[in-house]
A and B are shown apart, each in its own frame.
Chain A
Amino acid sequence: MSTTITGQAFVLGDDVDTDQIIPAQYLSYNPADPEERKYFGMYAMSGIPVEQAGLPGGHTRFVPEGQFESTYKIVIGGRNFGCGSSREHAPLAMAQAGVQAVVSQFYARIFFRNCVNGGYVLPCECDERLIERIATGDQCQIDIEANTLTHLTTGKVYPLNPIGEVKPIIDAGGIFDYASQAGMLKR
């Protein structure tokens, strides 16, 4: 795994809930079906109110009309990112759209857990209120080893919080790979 993630940021507000990340009407697609799974990418972030979609200006599409992937690789949120339902479709939709990392002040518990255990996107925490410092479309780089986010537009470097006790699961790529490596799963 590469130790840096570089790409354009898509900036959102506080309390982004899972209905905004993937609206309930699309949950009839079966994520286990590779063809249907693509649609989670198409509809990722489609529930965000338009004024909030791509701050500071809003009114920005996350995924271009009719496409399955976004050009934004890093999502930046405020407080309590991923609150609401337990649907794993939320981090899955982000990953399917091409997102590699999300950075917010803190996460709702189940969303964070789903990111880690399913190995979808890297959930980073930053005490700085990045949503007021970074604009949608700005280039950013996350250095996983150094645990920093560099705002390439300004050159400013922000420290990320240590990943802590779930790091081995993230490094393994999810709970199944972690448990296999730890000898807990015999297949």
Chain B
Amino acid sequence: MPRPMTMTEKILAAHAGRSDVQPGENVWVDVDILMTHDVCGPGTIGIFKERFGDDAKVWDPDRVVIIPDHYIFTADQKCHRNIQILRDFVRQHGLRYYYDPDFVTSEPGMPNPYKDPTKTHYKGVCHKALPEEGHIRPGEILLGTDSHTCTAGAFGQFATGVGNTDAAFVLGTGKTWLKVPPTMKFVFHGQIPPYLTAKDLILAVIGEISVSGATYKTMYFAGDGVASLTLEDRMTLTNMAIEAGGKNGVCDVDEKTLQYVRARSNVPNWMVYADDPGAGYIFEHEWDLATLEPLVAKPFSPDNRDTAYNCREVKVDRAYIGSCTGGKITDMIFAASLLRGHSVKVPTFVVPGSTEVHADMKRLNVHGEPCQTGDKSIEDVLLDAGCQLAPSSCAACLGGPADTFGRLNEPMTCISTTNRNFPGRMGHKDAGVYLASPLTVAASALTGSITDPREYVGEPIVTGTAGTV
């Protein structure tokens, strides 16, 4: 009888050419996709050239994906120069999968953003763009020069973040060494109630195990509560695996996964792996979704968990809805459903996670269906409520240059759908960030203090076909 294995162990074994691997072992694996972006790309390219030579070829031009997304809407000339470094590399190597911010020119100053999100090569935040553009498939190994590369584990693959040196090594060889992680299992029972989103689930997990509770480990999110989520919402769970120190996060592959991947990817063959019955977990924890309350992570750590209700005295100076965690189309629907017909009381900044999300915000109504005559689009609803909207990018999620949209340039309190609230993460190191679901952020934007969304949400919020294929 072969030893029962987890999904992650099976994927690593298959890519190491082995039938079995044990947690704790170091294995050399073949990488399927390497992703980089404008912040880490130039450094990676520099190391690649230094180590392999100026004329060296990348190991496989069709397995390298470059998605500029971090510092796009800034007048910082070095950022524009960095995009040019990516463009030169893409041309030199004939890379097909490059998503150029074609509106960034050699002109000094703030670039003029795209006018129509459907008419640009630019995609926005890499972790959102990767599955949209068909680069994510079950059973594969994705490495990216960004810690939230773990997001793609929602599709049943092994995905993790690496540094520039590792990425440069993969660029030249297609290989890397990985230590096989043991798996922690988090089970959610029941249907998700209308006042919760996947963000509350992951804040519950991180609050339970701390920001280092999953260090060197796989986080497996399971149960009918997870199965009931859309892929977009499962991505919120796996996205924040890194906030618990996790090496990767995974969800089971089901019909929803297959439907999404088949609609997006032009690669026909990939493997679906699942945990064997009897697979070993080093930790298990279960939640009943009916008893979970809307949560926040207080400054200055994603594990500083509390209920939104307990924080109701906390005044906020602004609200932020965006990023790879909380800027997906379902997040926008959650926020818009709550804000519809109301006006925000504090400045509320909205940044779509990708140009596709932005296009869908214009195309769909708050039920996630194409707008009919007379319907307001998601974007209209948010603008009517007084939100400020910027083109897709990482924007203030990681602070960025001082002229970044929504950046916290002075000490203030912000409630945000993003994923990190360490000191200085969104700008000023004395600014306090509360992490919360798009529902809690929207409810707080309406009142000016942290607000439990149960005050506004009664009916289940349907997200329709948004983000399902």
Name B214-259 residues within 8 Å CB distance of A: 215-216, 245, 247
CA distance in complex: A108, B45 (Å): 25
Q: Which of B46, B146, B211 has the most CB of A within 10 A?
A: B211
Q: Flag whether A69 is at the interface (Cβ < 8 A).
A: no
Closest A residue by C-beta to B85 = A30
Give chain A nearest CB distance to B48 CB in angstroms: 9
Inter-chain contact A85/B146, CB cutoff 8 Å: yes
Q: Flag whether A137 is at the interface (Cβ < 8 A).
A: no
Give chain B nearest CB distance to A177 CB in angstroms: 10
CA distance in complex: A178, B374 (Å): 65
Q: Known A15-B212, A83-B212, A89-B43; judge A179-B79 contact (CB<8 A).
A: no
Chain B residues with CB under 8 Å of A109's CB are 215-216, 245, 247
Q: Which of A30, A109, A175 has the most CB of B within 10 A?
A: A109
Given contacts A49-B429, A117-B169, A187-B53, 10 further A-B contacts (CB under 8 A): A15-B422, A25-B401, A28-B71, A30-B43, A31-B43, A33-B46, A84-B425, A85-B147, A85-B161, A110-B163
Q: Flag whether B145 is at the interface (Cβ < 8 A).
A: yes
Give chain B nearest CB distance to A32 CB in angstroms: 2
Residues of B within 8 A of A (CB): 26, 39-40, 42-43, 45-47, 49-53, 70-71, 76, 78-79, 81-82, 85, 144-147, 149, 161-166, 169, 172-173, 177, 211-212, 215-216, 245, 247, 301, 398-402, 420, 422-425, 429-430
Inter-chain contact A118/B165, CB cutoff 8 Å: yes
Name A39-91 residues within 8 Å CB distance of B: 47-49, 79-80, 83-89
Q: Flag whether A17 is at the interface (Cβ < 8 A).
A: yes
Closest B residue by C-beta to A23 = B424
Q: Known A32-B45, A187-B52; judge A19-B163 contact (CB<8 A).
A: no
Q: Which of A32, A86, A89, A117 has the most CB of B within 10 A?
A: A86
Can you sample 23 A-B contacts with CB below 8 Å? Answer: A17-B425, A25-B399, A27-B39, A30-B46, A31-B43, A31-B46, A32-B49, A36-B78, A47-B429, A49-B423, A80-B215, A83-B211, A83-B212, A85-B398, A86-B144, A87-B39, A87-B163, A88-B145, A107-B215, A114-B166, A118-B164, A179-B169, A184-B173
Q: Which of A19, A24, A29, A30 has the most CB of B within 10 A?
A: A24
Closest B residue by C-beta to A114 = B163
CA distance in complex: A36, B81 (Å): 13
Chain A residues with CB under 8 Å of B398's CB are 19, 24, 85
Inter-chain contact A80/B245, CB cutoff 8 Å: yes
Q: Which of A23, A36, A79 has the most CB of B within 10 A?
A: A23
Name A160-187 residues within 8 Å CB distance of B: 165, 174-176, 179, 184-185, 187
Residue among B42, B145, B166 making CB contact with A117, cutoff 8 Å? B166
CA distance in complex: A162, B53 (Å): 35
CA distance in complex: A145, B424 (Å): 38
CA distance in complex: A179, B166 (Å): 12
Give chain A nearest CB distance to B271 CB in angstroms: 25
Chain B residues with CB under 8 Å of A87's CB are 39-40, 163
Q: Flag whether A20 is at the interface (Cβ < 8 A).
A: yes
Q: Flag whether A10 is at the interface (Cβ < 8 A).
A: no
CA distance in complex: A176, B49 (Å): 12
Chain A residues with CB under 8 Å of B50's CB are 32
Inter-chain contact B78/A29, CB cutoff 8 Å: yes
CA distance in complex: A113, B423 (Å): 23
Give chain A nearest CB distance to B413 CB in angstroms: 16
Give chain B nearest CB distance to A102 CB in angstroms: 15
Residue among B82, B144, B149, B163 making CB contact with A118, cutoff 8 Å? B163
Residue among B43, B81, B144, B301 making CB contact with A88, cutoff 8 Å? B43
CA distance in complex: A84, B26 (Å): 23
Give chain A nearest CB distance to B246 CB in angstroms: 8
Inter-chain contact B430/A31, CB cutoff 8 Å: no
Inter-chain contact B79/A28, CB cutoff 8 Å: yes
Chain B residues with CB under 8 Å of A48's CB are 423
Closest A residue by C-beta to B301 = A15
Chain A residues with CB under 8 Å of B43's CB are 30-32, 88-89
Inter-chain contact A113/B166, CB cutoff 8 Å: yes
Inter-chain contact A19/B424, CB cutoff 8 Å: yes
Closest A residue by C-beta to B80 = A28
Inter-chain contact B162/A113, CB cutoff 8 Å: yes
Inter-chain contact A86/B161, CB cutoff 8 Å: yes
Chain B residues with CB under 8 Å of A85's CB are 146-147, 161, 398
Give chain A nearest CB distance to B106 CB in angstroms: 16
Chain A residues with CB under 8 Å of B79's CB are 28
Inter-chain contact A31/B212, CB cutoff 8 Å: no
Inter-chain contact B424/A106, CB cutoff 8 Å: no
Give chain A nearest CB distance to B300 CB in angstroms: 8
Give chain A nearest CB distance to B238 CB in angstroms: 15
Chain B residues with CB under 8 Å of A23's CB are 399, 424, 429
CA distance in complex: A17, B147 (Å): 12
Chain A residues with CB under 8 Å of B401's CB are 25, 28
CA distance in complex: A138, B331 (Å): 50
CA distance in complex: A69, B422 (Å): 25
Inter-chain contact A28/B82, CB cutoff 8 Å: yes
Contact with B along A1-27 (1 / 0, CB 8 A): 000000000000001010110011101
